[in-house]
Amino acid sequence: MARLKGKVALITGAGSGIGRAEAILFAKEGAKVIVTDINEEKGQETVKEITSNGGEAIFMKLDVTNPKQWQEVVKKAIELYGKIDILVNNAGILISKSIEEMTLEEWDKVIKVNLYGTFYGCKFILPAMKRAGGGVIINTGSIMGIVAYPNEVAYDASKGAVRILTKAVAIEYAKYNIRVNCLCPGNTRTPMNEPWIKDPKLREEILRPQVIKRFAEPIEIAYGALFLASDESSFMTGADLVIDGGYTAT
């Protein structure tokens, strides 16, 4: 219960879903958690759950597509804690449309949140990690960055790019004792996946390739993030950690 004792972790999109599960788990493991989200109410709910159970957490509002906000959040975090040991780029969105139906504005929106948001997080936290002598970055990819799914062209493209961004940053910053890995969840019970969870026909369709015929719970993905954040993964960098119920094995 102390794998992250003394560590400071910043998690984006921590107001719900996988991000919330990661924040709660990291706090249980001893981390001071900076909960960030564009939705202040949801973010504060995560903080309340952590602090009511004896953990330490604060909320900072963050639109991951806004580089100025990123700089402000990183600056404030350093002022408060003196360092950021762990960054989890978790925030993401999904718009399900074919390439012909998708507007340029919708394409841009997905790319800005999923890819630019991850790029900004790495860009603005890496200098602080270099000064501190090391750190860990966990970028959230997806199985849809490994294999494609119909009518998710922007999401698939953004997550594929996040995987390669992760590898590029990993090889560049290994010399600074900074590890960078990509967490690739499969179908998970989150608000983003509600349409597939609620509709029996869609649920059957999306789970068909999986050998474990259910949606993952957010905590099952969070345990993967904990492994990547901890010293237990000290020899891992530039890697994909796939947690997908066997989806990509078929």
* Angstrom distance (rounded) from CA 79 to CA 191: 33
Helices and strands counted in the chain (H then E): 9, 7
> 168-176, long-range: CB within 8 Å, 24+ apart, which pairs?
169/122, 169/126, 169/137, 170/237, 170/238, 171/238, 173/126, 173/129, 173/130, 174/237, 174/238, 176/129, 176/130, 176/133, 176/134
Of 116, 120, 155, 173, which one is the catalytic site residue? 155
CB 183 within 8 A of CB 21: no
155 given a catalytic annotation: yes
* Angstrom distance (rounded) from CA 7 to CA 129: 12
Residues serving a catalytic function are: 155
